[in-house]
Structure 1
């Protein structure tokens, strides 16, 4: 613990006064998903929001407690972040729970309610009557990432910031078994592998806005 502090002493002293993260990372609460390891970033670079299945709800003003929405709102309008990454992952238990029976989810009614946000994805996936469990998981995880990207654009002013270049938006599918990361390319409506054959620093310098 002390060795880590000494190694980053100047960084921690700089961060002691304020935070200036350049990227909002929206990921799953899964213990195998570690944002700073995936992005090769230091403390202070990422503002992190994590929930079951990395879901982003539509922006709305209601009389309830909206933890994910509040955190995203704070990152965009208070911290002025320059990049947003929605990072889903393989073997996502939250996405898999979408297909479990009410009986199996009886002990987790709040989880069941939360997953209702992406119930339309379930309906779309199940249109394929012959889909295998493995393909069902893969397709659900990716459609969920795309859905969260679309919902981020319901936040006030986000579309305008994207058009002006003030903000960049990325959808990642992280493959736990291999460490591969696929980035969603909206132009071709497909996920493309971020090549690992080059240095990670080069990968992220290509993606992140200078900070």
Structure 2
């Protein structure tokens, strides 16, 4: 807590002047175009990693960057906090991209891998069940995903893809995907290297977002934006 208070005072003295106009503008409302679903892990700081400012990202974080799937009516089959964030982002904010970001050394994935069963933490145990399908995929071999990585990191990458599948169970998400007004992205953060990887379906693996990959992604997004506008105009 001491560090938080000292940091707050430092921001008020040195950081706030540069952001004063930004917060005055944001007081009138927010218009982020990306929903970022990340892990609660203290080592994963979305705004730092992607160099964004207040108002740029709509963020929800939880243990293991997970989202419970929905039933046919769109009702979450688990905790509703993440589902509520998805609904709010897609219906009340100009969000066109959703990122699910896992990371190396994830404690949640290590717990799932170890068969976590601590009677003192029934809520955590229940929540971690959302990672079981990814564990089943790992036990089946896991394909090319995370080859050469420790089992928990391979599971973390598989878990990102599983949570994207959970998102696709929501009618609202499917509708937006079919209308080509929404894009889903799987990211994975290598903490030791401070390197973000993106899932490439064509390669069936995560690849580092370096300069070359970043330019490829930007070009793909430009094409997607143009296609979406053409579809909307039609």
Change (3 A) 1:92 1:74: same
Aligned equivalent of 2:87, options 70, 73, 77:
73
How many pairs were matched up? 204
TM-score by length of structure 1 reads 0.84
Q: Residue 102 of structure 1: CA displacement?
A: 5.0
Alignment of 1:28-177 (within 5 A): 28-60=39-71, 61=75, 66-102=80-116, 105-127=118-140, 135-177=150-192
Larger-Rg structure: 2
Return the alpha-carbon distance in structure 2 between the equivalents of residues 89 and 206 of structure 1.
25
Q: Please state whether the residue corresponding to 1:53 is helix, strand or coil.
A: coil
Return the alpha-carbon distance in structure 1 between the equivalents of residues 149 and 187 of structure 2.
19
Determine if contact 1:39/1:204 at 8 Å carries over to the other structure.
no
CA displacement 1:85-121 (0-9 Å, x = unmatched): 1000000000111133555x23222111111122122
Q: Residue 176 of structure 1: CA displacement?
A: 0.5
The higher-RCO structure (CA 8 Å, 6+ apart) is: 1
Q: Residue 17 of structure 1: CA displacement?
A: 0.9
Mean Cα displacement is larger for which, 15-24 or 107-116? 107-116
1:11 paired to 2:25: no
Instruction: Identify unmatched segments of 5+ residues in structure 1.
Output: none
Change (3 A) 1:108 1:10: same
Change (3 A) 1:194 1:63: closer
Q: Please state whether the residue corresponding to 1:96 is helix, strand or coil.
A: helix
Q: As a proportion of its length, which structure holds more helix?
A: 2
Return the alpha-carbon distance in structure 2 between the equivalents of residues 90 and 175 of structure 1.
5
Change (3 A) 1:160 1:64: closer
Determine if contact 1:90/1:141 at 8 Å carries over to the other structure.
yes
Aligned equivalent of 2:199, options 167, 174, 184:
184
Q: Please state whether the residue corresponding to 1:137 is helix, strand or coil.
A: helix
Q: Please state whether the residue corresponding to 1:98 is helix, strand or coil.
A: helix
Q: Please state whether the residue corresponding to 1:170 is helix, strand or coil.
A: strand
Determine if contact 2:37/2:101 at 8 Å carries over to the other structure.
yes
Determine if contact 1:26/1:84 at 8 Å carries over to the other structure.
yes
Return the alpha-carbon distance in structure 1 between the equivalents of residues 153 and 195 of structure 2.
14
